[in-house]
Structure 1
Amino acid sequence: MGIHNSRLKGRKLKIQNLPENVVQTKSDGAIQSGRYLSSDVDYVGNLHAFHFIKKHLFQSNFSSPIKERLIQGGCKILDVACGSGTWLLDMSTNYENSHFVGLDFQAIYPQEIKPPNLNFIEADILDGLPFPDNEFDFVHQDTMISVLQKNQWEFVLPELVRVTKPGGYIELTETIRMFNSYGPIMQKIFKSFNSFLLKQGVDLNVIINDLETMLGSQQNITKVCRDERTYIVGPNGGKIGLACHENLVDFCSVEMTVQILSSEIGISKEDFKNMIGNGLSDELKKTKPSFTTFRIWTQKR
C-alpha cells in the first residue's frame, strides 16, 4: 500500500471535548494527531527520561537481531513518530556508519545539533510514509497505542512493512499497565486517561489485545517475536521503580495533562496537582502497581 493510495489520507485523529486552550490546529484547520502534549517543553523532557528507563529495562535500544548489520554500517534506519528524537540521537551516536531518519508530524526534535548521520523529516504517518518501497533495513516505532485508532493502525502497519527492505526488521515498543495493587489515586489517573482516549476513538484494551495479531497478519513478514519487561512503579520497585515514579509525576505535571485529567476526574487543577504531588507518593509507598513494556518485531520476507 503506497502513499498515493492511502485510505486515511487527510483524515486526522480528531480531538474532541478538550478543556479550553488544549486543542491545537494546523493551518488547514485539521486537528493535530492525538499526541496532544508534543509541543510542551516539559513533556519533551519526560520523553527523554522514559527513553533511558526503557533502555535500562532491556539493556538495549532494540530487540530485533539487527546489531551486527548496524555495526558493519551501511544500514538505513527509520524511526516513525520519533517525538523528541532521543532514541535516534542515542542510536546514531552508537552506530556512526549507518544512516538514521526520524519522522514526526511536529518538529520537536533537534533541527541543528545532531550527528551528521541523522536527519529528520516533518510529516504525518497518517498521510503515508514519504518514502519508496523497500527503503529501510530497520523501521522502528514507539509509544503509539494511546495515539492511533484501530483503523489507523490498519493503515500504519502496512506502511511500516512497505518501506522495509526484504530481510529488514520492523519493531514496535509499547507500555501497558497491569491491573494489580493499584491504589485509588492511580485508579483515578488511568480511568480518566482512558476516558479521554475513548473520546478520541482510541480504545487501549482493543489495541493492546490486537496489536500483535495485526502485525502478524501483514503480508510478506515472518513470525512475530516478543520481548517484555514488567516492573513496579514507586519505591517498592527499587531504583527503576523510583525512576518510573518520577517520570509518572512529571507526565502528570505537564500543564496539558493537568487540564485534561482534572477535567475528566471533575476536580480543580490545583486539587489535581496536590493529589499528584502529595497523595500519589504516599500511596506508592503502600502499593506495588506494575507496568509492562514490550517490544514486538518481525522480519520482512
Structure 2
Amino acid sequence: MGTTQSSSRSAGRDSGPHNTSHTSNQSVESTSSRGSSSHNSIHSSAQHLPPHAEEEVSTDDEYNYYHGRRYHKTSSLYMLPNDSEEVDRLHTQHYIFKAALEKNIHVTIPPNGRVMEFGCGPATWTMDMATEMSTINFVGVDISPVYPTAIFPRNCNFYNEDFLKGVSQPDSTFDVVFQRNVTCGLTFENWQQVMKEAFRILKPGGFYECVESDITIQNAGPQTNVVFEHLRLSMATRNVDPSIVRSLDRLMVATGFTDVHVKEYCVPVGDWGGKVGQLWQQNMFAILETVRPHLAKAAGCSETTVQEVVQAMYKETKDYRSHQVVYAVYGRKPVSPAQ
C-alpha cells in the first residue's frame, strides 16, 4: 500500500524534549529555514491582489454557516465543518490512517473491556473497532451529533457531549480512552483538561492513547511551507499550537500516566509514496480546501491566491518526496496511587 516508516521511544517521568534521530532533527531545521524565505515571497506576490473578502457568516438555532459550509455553534476553535461533506471525508480519512499505520490502536484492550472515544465524529473508528471486537463495549462522545443514531453495532453507544467539559461517565469505568486528530481544536489548557478527564474515567491500569499529525511537512517545498505557515498563523489566532503534538508524552507524564510510549510514523505525501501517499495527499488537500478562507485571512490575500499556491503543492510533494509525521502516544493509569 505504501512506504510508511515508523520508530518508537519511551517517556520517563522526568522526560524532556525528544528527537527520533539526528537525521530527523536536521530535516525539521531544513524545513524551517526554507519556510522563512518563501514566507516573504507570498506577501510580495500577493500585495497587489484584492484583500480577503468579508466573512460570509449566517446562523440558525443550531449551527453557523460559513462560506457555504456548516459548523457547530459551541466552539470557535475547531476549524473544520460538521456537514455531510465533512462526514464523508472523515469516513475516508479513518481508512487512510488505518492503512498508513497498519492498525487502529496500539494498546491492548482486555476481554469484555470498555473503550471510550473522545471526539468520535461520525464514529467510523468506533464502529470499525466494534465490528472487529464484538465482545468489547465502545462508547463515543462528540460535541456534534454526526454519529449514527439508527443503525450501528450493538456493542456501541454514542452521546452528544463536549469532552472538554467532562463526560457523563463514572470514575474508573473504562479500560481504554482513545482520541485522534483533535489538535486543531484544543488549546494547551484544553489538552490538560482532556488528559485529566481521561485519567478520571480510566480504571487503574487502563490505557489512554492519542493519535495526532504534525502539521509541519517534512522535506517540504517553498509553496508547501507557505501554506502551512499560514495555517499555523490562523491556528495561533485561536490560541491553538499544533506543535504540541511533539510534547504529548510529557503532558501525559505530568497528568500522572506511566509507561508512556511514543510511536512516530513518517507517512509519504503524494504519488511518490504509492497508494498510501496518494490517499494521504488527497485527504490533506481536502482539508486545505475547507480551511482556504482561514488561510486567506491569515495571509491577507485573496482565496484565489491561496488556491493557486495550494495547487503548486501537488508537484512539490513529488519533487521533494514530502512526508508527514504522525504521533501515536499512549500511557497507562497507575494500578495504585503510589505506583
The alignment's TM-score, normalised by the length of structure 2, stands at 0.74
Stretches (4+) displaced over 4 A? 22-27
**Residues 166-205 of structure 1: pairs in structure 2 closer than 5 A:** 166-178=204-216, 180-205=218-243
Based on CA coordinates, which of the two structures has the bigger radius of gyration? Answer: 2
- Write out per-residue CA displacement over residues 256-291 of structure 1, whole angstroms, 9 at most, x where no aligned residue: x12111222233223333443x42222223122221
Partner secondary structure for residue 47 of structure 1: helix
Q: Is the 8 A contact 1:236 1:287 kept in 2?
A: no
Q: Is the 8 A contact 1:226 1:295 kept in 2?
A: yes
- Separation in structure 2 between the aligned mates of residue 290 and residue 260 of structure 1, nearest angstrom: 23
- Write out per-residue CA displacement over residues 94-143 of structure 1, whole angstroms, 9 at most, x where no aligned residue: 11121111001111222222111111101111211221101111110111
Q: Is the 8 A contact 2:184 2:235 kept in 1?
A: yes
Does 2:269 correspond to 1:236? no
Partner secondary structure for residue 157 of structure 2: strand
- Separation in structure 2 between the aligned mates of residue 120 and residue 161 of structure 1, nearest angstrom: 20
- Relative contact order, CA 8 A, sep 6+: which one is greater? 2
- Separation in structure 2 between the aligned mates of residue 224 and residue 86 of structure 1, nearest angstrom: 26
Does 2:249 correspond to 1:212? yes
Does 2:304 correspond to 1:270? yes
Letter of the aligned partner of 1:49 in structure 2?
T
**Residues 56-71 of structure 1: pairs in structure 2 closer than 5 A:** 56-66=99-109, 69=110
Structure 1's 34 and 176: CA in aligned 2 closer, same or farther, altered over 3 A? same
Does 2:55 correspond to 1:20? yes
Structure 1's 293 and 157: CA in aligned 2 closer, same or farther, altered over 3 A? same
* Residue aligning to 2:39: none
Percent identity reads: 27
Out of 84, 87, 95, the residue aligned to residue 41 of structure 1 is 84
Structure 1's 37 and 25: CA in aligned 2 closer, same or farther, altered over 3 A? farther
**Residues 1-301 of structure 1: pairs in structure 2 closer than 5 A:** 20-21=55-56, 31-66=74-109, 69=110, 72=111, 74-178=112-216, 180-205=218-243, 207-219=244-256, 221-254=257-290, 257-276=291-310, 278-300=311-333, 301=335
Structure 1's 178 and 203: CA in aligned 2 closer, same or farther, altered over 3 A? closer
Q: Is the 8 A contact 1:54 1:293 kept in 2?
A: no
- Separation in structure 1 between the aligned mates of residue 194 and residue 238 of structure 2, nearest angstrom: 17
- Write out per-residue CA displacement over residues 40-92 of structure 1, whole angstroms, 9 at most, x where no aligned residue: 332222222221122112221000122xx2xx4x2211000111211001011
- Write out per-residue CA displacement over residues 184-231 of structure 1, whole angstroms, 9 at most, x where no aligned residue: 2211221111011110111223x2343210101223x32101222112
- Separation in structure 1 between the aligned mates of residue 261 and residue 187 of structure 2, nearest angstrom: 23
Structure 1's 23 and 218: CA in aligned 2 closer, same or farther, altered over 3 A? farther
> Which has the larger displacement, 168-177 or 42-51?
42-51
The alignment's TM-score, normalised by the length of structure 1, stands at 0.83
Which stretches in structure 1 are left out of the alignment for 5+ residues? Answer: 1-17
Partner secondary structure for residue 280 of structure 1: helix
Structure 1's 185 and 112: CA in aligned 2 closer, same or farther, altered over 3 A? farther
Structure 1's 263 and 275: CA in aligned 2 closer, same or farther, altered over 3 A? same
Question: Higher strand fraction: Structure 1 or Structure 2?
Answer: 2
Structure 1's 21 and 89: CA in aligned 2 closer, same or farther, altered over 3 A? farther
> Which has the larger displacement, 191-200 or 235-244?
235-244
